[in-house]
Amino acid sequence: MKKAIIYGVTGQDGSYLSDLLLSKQYTVYGITRRSSSDNTSRITHLLNKNNFNLVQGDVTDTSSIYRLLNEVQPDEVYNLAAQSHVGTSFGQPQLTWCVTAQGCLNILEAIRSMGNRPRFYQASSSEMFGNQYNLDINHEKYQDEQTTFSPQSPYAIAKLAAHNAVSLYRSSYDLFACGGILFNHESERRGERFVTRKISRYVANLYWATQRGRSIPKLKLGNLSAKRDWGHAEDYVEAMWKMLQQAIPNDYVIATGNTYSVEDYLKEAFKCIDTNEYMDYVEIDQSLIRPSEVPYLRGISKKAEKRLNWKASIGFEDLVSRMVQHDIQSSSKHEENYTTT
């Protein structure tokens, strides 16, 4: 039975990856930071499973990393830990760097010191591309493994540093280390600070408010024109796992190949409750517009399709529908928190 360590297990990707590995008969050690508040809501269904172990640790604490790796002797290590909100990184650049960049380096150094080295996955990000892109034969913009990096936020800078560290340790120390350059991936388990979940929760609460003859405040959003390549996290964690099953380590772009604006997402979400006048419910809040915005992301995953036999299976419309329907089903009892008198 294989053993895997997942840093960042309580996040969206960590919970789906745990589901996947447990279904493949792994023993999973999920690492979570000590916190005064309960942050295990996404993995509650895993806590009583025999092969799932929740362990306190931190990617910024080198002693706990060394101790855990030597005690567990894992076959695979997945680093999904990060300060993962781009907007927040502008206000907390040092924290973002320490967790996202230095944390990855701490794990790489610990693995390098081991006799039986586990395979390592690093969660890289499409935000590293910034405003750079290639053009296809139809003059459509896209990014792939050959696109130049040009980070436009403290988050992207930290992710690129970690990504480069993976490449360096792979070539210099012969580590089996892979970087997954994942484009935006959402789900019913997405954090509520991310724009997709913010929209889906609002639409769900609007649905229930309308059913009860009530009104709710407008939805405050920032830049509606930013375009992103949105997939479902359940698809993307499968790509993570497949990277570590290959004979040779490498980096891969993981994306759907399609791009939609924030306004497209907004429109699709309101369609789920048969409402076309979505802008009647939106207020543009200038404070939510980032100092530096990445305008366009569309990933091409031909390398992953060929070498990993991976392709996204959940499309944009299905993704949005799943998120909205989930929030409609779960938000009825919380709707009163959004109503006005």
Catalytic residues: 125, 127, 155
143 DSSP β-pair partners: 299
Helix, strand, coil percentages for the chain (3-state, nearest 5): 45, 15, 40
Q: Are 153 and 86 in contact (CB under 8 A)?
A: yes
Q: Are 85 and 93 in contact (CB under 8 A)?
A: no
Of 234, 243, 179, which is closest to residue 23 (Cα–Cα)?
A: 234
Of 154, 162, 188, 15, which is closest to residue 85 (Cα–Cα)?
A: 154
**Residue 21 exposure: Cα atoms within 13 Å on the Cβ side:** 32
The whole-angstrom distance between residue 179's C-alpha and the CA centroid of its chain comes to: 13
Render 138-179 in DSSP notation, one character per residue.
T--EEB-TTSPP---SHHHHHHHHHHHHHHHHHHHH---EEE
Q: Are 147 and 127 in contact (CB under 8 A)?
A: no
**Residue 323 exposure: Cα atoms within 13 Å on the Cβ side:** 35
